[in-house]
Amino acid sequence: MLKRLTVVLLAALALGGALSGCDRVDPNSPLGKRKVIFKDMLRTSEDLGGMLRGRLPFDGVKFADGAQKLDNLAHQPWQHFPQVRDGGDSSARAEVWERQARFHDLARQLEGVTGELADISRSQPLDAAQLKAPMDKVEAACKACHTEFRNH
């Protein structure tokens, strides 16, 4: 009886592992590539916002490096949205493909405001108070796109 239970348990675990493997995103797929970029953008943006809100110590050099990194990242994910909706567990709504012109407009707006933040951050020493408005624009651009085109 114990052998039979062990075999059934092992079979169930193997099946569960196989099914959970189906949930994984191919890192080389367009979805996998844009997810990595968006997560990196989020981490970078959170660090910058954290410095401006006192959650992290403000460091002008680190902020400038982060602003440049965020600007570079802001130009990358759009190439990984194919012309036709791709499969997978994407947070992107169908509107990304149905309203591509608007989606690309919002992407260009994000690129513009991250570029402004990077430009302002090049002048050392940085004053955290002067960076708040440009960072607010970046966060607003992210939110605008998420509101229209992201599922959560």
Residue 24: pLDDT band (50, 70, 90) is confident
Residue 17: pLDDT band (50, 70, 90) is very low
Q: pLDDT digit string (tens) for 26-68?
A: 999 999 999 999 999 999 999 999 999 999 999 999 999 999 9
Of 132, 110, 103, the residue nearest 120 (C-alpha): 132
Beta bridge partners of 92: 150
Residue 87: pLDDT band (50, 70, 90) is confident
Q: Residue with structure tokens 């460091």?
A: 59
pLDDT at 18 over 80: no
Q: What is the mean pLDDT of residues 85-99?
A: 91
State the DSSP H helix or E strand holding residue 141, giving kind and residue range, or none if neither.
helix 128-149
pLDDT at site 6? 40
- Count of beta carbons in the 10 Å neighbourhood of residue 113: 21
Q: What is the mean pLDDT of residues 67-83?
A: 96
